[in-house]
């Protein structure tokens, strides 16, 4: 019930005061519509074909309240949890989980739209993002999975297989309620 009330509060605040500077991405019922809309806004504003743009991912700090203004392009998101890894705030990259810590809050992430051929290059892990820890879903009539949301490129100093072998992912919620 607390989660539902928090979602309703976020939406009411958006209605009353305008778009937040950082979006609680886990609050959306159908997250792909939100991420697609933000990408379409960028493409239209810059008169670019939608199939030539995508999101480059910039890892920000861990406190959503630190971002009082939205980015010039794209959106800041928060509310994701890392499973199988942790976040090193000082190095701004994935690191090993602490013993007995199953989940850790992911940093605020800037979904930065840009032409695909202009993405920055860095050592990274393509981290899958799921709504729930079940990591499975069915294909909905929209053609999207009911659980998988997207891949987010996370900086790392380890080879990608290192995180794959640990089953690292990000989750929108820690319960399936």
What pLDDT was estimated at residue 32?
A: 87
Q: In whole angstroms, how far apart are CA 100 and each of 81, 97, 126, 136?
A: 15, 8, 24, 24
pLDDT tens, residue by residue, 18-66? 999 999 998 888 888 899 999 999 999 999 999 999 999 999 999 999 9
Q: pTM for the whole thing?
A: 0.91
The β-bridge relationship of strands 22-24 and 75-78 is parallel
What pLDDT was estimated at residue 68?
A: 95
What gap in Å lies between CA 125 and CA 158, rounded to an integer? Answer: 8
pLDDT tens, residue by residue, 118-145? 999 999 999 999 988 887 777 777 676 7
- Average pLDDT score over the chain: 92
Does the structure show a pLDDT above 80 at 9? yes
What pLDDT was estimated at residue 134?
A: 83
String of DSSP letters for 141-172: TTSSBSSEEEEEEEE-SS-HHHHHHTT-EEES
Closest CA to 152 of 171, 139, 176: 171
What pLDDT was estimated at residue 177?
A: 47
């Amino acid at each position: 019930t607390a989660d539902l009330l928090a979602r309703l509060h976020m939406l009411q605040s958006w209605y009353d005061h305008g778009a937040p500077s950082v979006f609680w991405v886990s609050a959306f019922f159908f997250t792909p519509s939100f991420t697609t809309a933000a990408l379409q806004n960028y493409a239209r504003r810059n008169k670019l074909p939608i199939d030539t743009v995508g999101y480059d991912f910039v890892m920000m700090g861990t406190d959503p309240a630190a971002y009082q203004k939205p980015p010039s392009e794209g959106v800041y998101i928060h509310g994701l949890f890392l499973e199988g890894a942790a976040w090193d705030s000082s190095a701004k990259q994935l690191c090993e989980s602490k013993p007995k810590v199953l989940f850790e809050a992911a940093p605020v992430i800037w979904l930065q739209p840009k032409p695909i051929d202009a993405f920055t290059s860095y050592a990274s892990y393509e981290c899958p993002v799921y709504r729930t820890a079940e990591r499975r879903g069915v294909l909905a009539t929209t053609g999207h999975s009911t659980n998988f949301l997207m891949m987010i490129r996370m900086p790392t100093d380890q080879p990608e297989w290192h995180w794959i072998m640990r089953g690292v992912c990000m989750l929108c919620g820690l319960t399936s309620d």
